[in-house]
Structure 1
Amino acid sequence: MKGIIFTEFLDLVENHFGLEVLDQILEMSEDQGIYTSVGSYDHKDLVKLIVNLSKTSDVPANQLQEVFGESVFKKLLATMPPAAAVAQSTNSFEFIRHVEDYIHVEVKKLYPDAVPPSFEFISETETELVLNYKSARCMSHVCLGLIKGCANHFEQKLDIQMKPLNETGSEVRFNITLVN
């Protein structure tokens, strides 16, 4: 997992919970908290940090993942080249489609060892998008937050339903409806 995810998570914890809580969860996780935005790290370290933040804050881990995904959306968007098709998107559905068609493809070119999640698009109309999220990291709530961040960016109201497709959470169906 790319380091920008870790650095943004640590910033979020410090900004919303304080430096003392950040130090506490790093200690609980036996993590020095030394990450670079371009480095690659084991996603299990992020999971430990989230679980320990949940224990410390009494906020459910899934809710923390969702808040994180929503908050990190703009930061990740800012890393996109302005001329990229994804940056030219005009609505949430178009952007989400470009994540699979452009962002994940570019990530694999830049980092051949990267294994980003994948989206399998099931159906799409002007008002509804159905897709399956697949990731061995089982972080669909981060994906949910990213979709919410995307909707905020495009100033659209979306109704987003999630349905696990297996017991591990590595595959989740998202039913996303544009609300007028």
Structure 2
Amino acid sequence: MKGIIFTEFLELVEDQFGLEVLDEVLTMSEDEGIYTSVGSYDHKKLVKLIVNLSKKTGIEPSTLQTVFGRTVFKTLLSSLPDDASVSQSKTTFQFIHHVENYIHVEVKKLYPDASPPRFVFISESESEMLMDYHSARCMGHVCLGLIEGCAQHFGENIEVNMVQTNKDQSIARFSLRKA
């Protein structure tokens, strides 16, 4: 997992809960908290940080992941190179397709060992989209937050529902409906 995810998560924890809570979560996680935005790290470290933040704050891990996804969307969007053709996307649905068909493909070219999540589009109309999110990292709630952040970015009112479709949570089905 790219380091920008870790650096943004640590920054969010410090901003929302304070440096003392961040230090306690790092200590609980046996993590020094030293990450660079361009480095690559085991996603299990992030899971451990989220679980320990949940223990410390009493907030469900799924809620923490969703808030994080919503918050980190703009940072990830601004980190995309100018030639990523992001400006061609005018809606949330277009952007989600762009992520799957262009951004994830480019990530694989740059980092052959990377395993970005995969979107499988099931059905779509002008006002609804049904898709499955596949990821070995099992972070469907982060994806939920990213979608919500994307809709906010495009100024769209979209109802997003997520259902885990398998026991290990590596697949989540998303139903998006424009209000």
Instruction: Please confirm whether the aligned pair reaches a TM-score higher than 0.5, indicating the same fold.
Output: yes
Mapping 1:77-96, distance limit 5 Å: 77-96=77-96
CA distance in 2, matches of 1:81, 1:170: 29
Q: In the TM superposition, what is the alpha-carbon distance from 1:110 to its structure 2 partner?
A: 1.1
CA distance in 2, matches of 1:87, 1:55: 40
1:127 match: 127
Secondary structure at the residue paired with 2:40? Answer: coil
How many pairs align?
179
1:114 alignment partner AA: A
The answer for unaligned runs of 5 or more in structure 1 is: none
2:23 alignment partner AA: D
1:31 match: 31
CA distance in 1, matches of 2:88, 2:51: 36
TM-score (norm 2): 0.98
1:157 alignment partner AA: N
- Identical aligned residues as a percent: 63
Please tell me whether the aligned partners of residues 84 and 103 of structure 2 are also in contact (alpha carbons under 8 angstroms). Answer: no
1:166 match: 166
Secondary structure at the residue paired with 2:44? Answer: helix
Please tell me whether the aligned partners of residues 80 and 87 of structure 1 are also in contact (alpha carbons under 8 angstroms). Answer: no
Please tell me whether the aligned partners of residues 162 and 174 of structure 2 are also in contact (alpha carbons under 8 angstroms). Answer: yes
Mapping 1:3-22, distance limit 5 Å: 3-22=3-22
Q: In the TM superposition, what is the alpha-carbon distance from 1:109 to its structure 2 partner?
A: 1.0
Q: Deviation per CA, 1:44-103: give whole Å up to 9, x if none.
A: 000000000000011100000000000000000001123422232101000011110011
2:44 match: 44
TM-score (norm 1): 0.97
Q: In the TM superposition, what is the alpha-carbon distance from 1:124 to its structure 2 partner?
A: 0.9
Please tell me whether the aligned partners of residues 82 and 88 of structure 1 are also in contact (alpha carbons under 8 angstroms). Answer: no
CA distance in 2, matches of 1:87, 1:34: 33
